[in-house]
Amino acid sequence: MGKFKIEMGDITTYAVDGIVNAANTTLLGGGGVDGAIHRAAGPELLEECKTLGGCDTGKAKITKGYNLPAHYVLHTPGPIWHGGYNYEDVLLQGCYEYCLKLGEQHGLKTIAFPSISTGVYGYPVEEAAKIAVRTICDFLKWTQVVEEVTMVCHGEGTWKVYQEAYREYQAAESEK
């Protein structure tokens, strides 16, 4: 079973096999973590992204990491929050699942995630954290490839919410 960690930090500095980019559907860069990853990776990332034809919300595509310490970037457009009535939970779970499966297909042993959709897309971080923790931890139970997943939180508030979601997940699992 793989290891799950929750840390505060800057995902662009993580020397892992793959980092996840909370992208938009064009994959051509944007604000927040998306803009930071594109700036840190350099212009070659944008050039490769231009060849991918965008990406649907809840899916993922992979590129090289270029100037990042990470070898690869897994780009996933998260759902924009519309009150929870437009399958945002299913789409957000899909973001994590697609990235994990894509990482596994490419032999990535270590993956770092940001908190997808909780910035400008407005997804409530408490709900997003529960989905992220459950999806990642359930995946780590059976994967034979991915050894470690790190949730990289930008700020103490987000870090605390993810810590609580992980405690709740562990408590629920111990009751099974």
Is the Cβ–Cβ distance between 18 and 108 less than 8 Å?
A: yes
Task: List the catalytic residue out of 10, 17, 34, 56.
Answer: 34
Task: For residues 57 and 26, give the distance between their C-alpha atoms in angstroms, rounded to a whole number.
Answer: 10
**Is 106 strand, coil or helix?**
coil
DSSP category for residue 147: -
Residues 106/72, Cβ–Cβ less than 8 Å: yes
Q: What is the three-state SS of 21-45?
A: EEECCCCCCCCHHHHHHHHHHCHHH
Longest CA span, the chain: 49
Pull the structure tokens for residue 85.
Answer: 């009535």
Contact 27, 54 (CB under 8 A): yes
Please indicate whether residue 34 is annotated as part of the active site.
yes
Active site residues: 34
